Chains A and B, each alone.
Chain A
Amino acid sequence: DVKVTQSSRYLVKRTGEKVFLECVQDMDHENMFWYRQDPGLGLRLIYFSYDVKMKEKGDIPEGYSVSREKKERFSLILESASTNQTSMYLCASSRPNYGTHEQYFGPGTRLTVT
């Protein structure tokens, strides 16, 4: 059974803190993604990675960075958390192909920044 896990389901942090969100997949997928989900906006892509140590900006990368040191692990970093980063964060992975392969999602981390 395919699996994407995220380190925390719920997280509360203070403004200005550095926040790490971890994602691990056990499917040997090359592609990994970080999204944020907000009501009425659907999922918006923050960053993605198509190989170890490779990363590409998505649609809303400002205020975030990522790290992919191992194939199975993709970390999202909020360098200095702000209240407007309160959101649900979803990690996903997929095989590389021109659009035909679905993405597999983790359960999400609901982050609250106070």
Chain B
Amino acid sequence: AQSVTQLGSHVSVSEGALVLLRCNYSSSVPPYLFWYVQYPNQGLQLLLKYTTGATLVKGINGFEAEFKKSETSFHLTKPSAHMSDAAEYFCAVSDLGSGGYNKLIFGAGTRLAVHP
């Protein structure tokens, strides 16, 4: 069965610093991977996804993630943090045993704080 682990429930960075949010997954088959962002009092918004092809995936707001099969990782990065990046970030993997129903398995989330 698939699962997702996000390392660090809280991450704090300075404005302009590198953002690195870690995600490791377990899957017995090639996974489909997603990063979502949740701003305060809002639903989840897709940042980026990996399905097939290029392992470096670019998303919205300057974020990108690299799929590393050997490390079973899909870490999210942004070269320079902005105050508006403060939010909670969720990594998710498709539950491919769900018969095409598109079920997702989510990590516990990482809350990113950006300070001046």
Query: Is residue B116 within 8 Å, beta carbon to beta carbon, of the partner chain?
Result: no
Most buried by B among A33, A56, A96, A100: A100
Q: How many interface residues does chain A have, given as a range?
A: 20 to 34
Contact A48 B45 (CB under 8 A): no
Contact B108 A40 (CB under 8 A): yes
Tell which of B11-19, B62-70, B72-80, B93-101 binds the partner.
B93-101
User: Given B41, B43, B100, which contacts A96 in the complex, CB threshold below 8 Å?
Assistant: B100
List of A residues within 8 angstroms of B51 by Cβ: 99-100
A residues apposed to B, CB below 8 Å:
4, 9, 31, 33, 40-45, 48, 50, 56, 58, 90, 92, 94-108
Contact A31 B45 (CB under 8 A): no
Total contacting residues, chain B, CB less than 8 A: 25
Contact A96 B9 (CB under 8 A): no
Query: Is residue B34 within 8 Å, beta carbon to beta carbon, of the partner chain?
Result: yes
Name 6 A/B residue pairs within 8 A (Cβ), A-sorted: A4-B43, A42-B107, A90-B44, A99-B102, A102-B49, A108-B42
Number of A-B contacts (CB under 8 A): 68
Q: 4 shortest A-B CB distances, which residue pairs?
A: A99-B94, A105-B43, A99-B32, A105-B44
Chain B proximity of A24: nearest CB distance (Å): 14
Contact B43 A90 (CB under 8 A): yes
In the complex with contacts A42-B90, A42-B106, A43-B106, A98-B46 CB distance below 8 A: no
Chain B proximity of A72: nearest CB distance (Å): 17
Contact A48 B101 (CB under 8 A): yes
A90 to B41, CA, bound (A): 11
Contact B103 A48 (CB under 8 A): yes
CB closest residue in chain A, given B91: A42
CB closest residue in chain A, given B46: A102
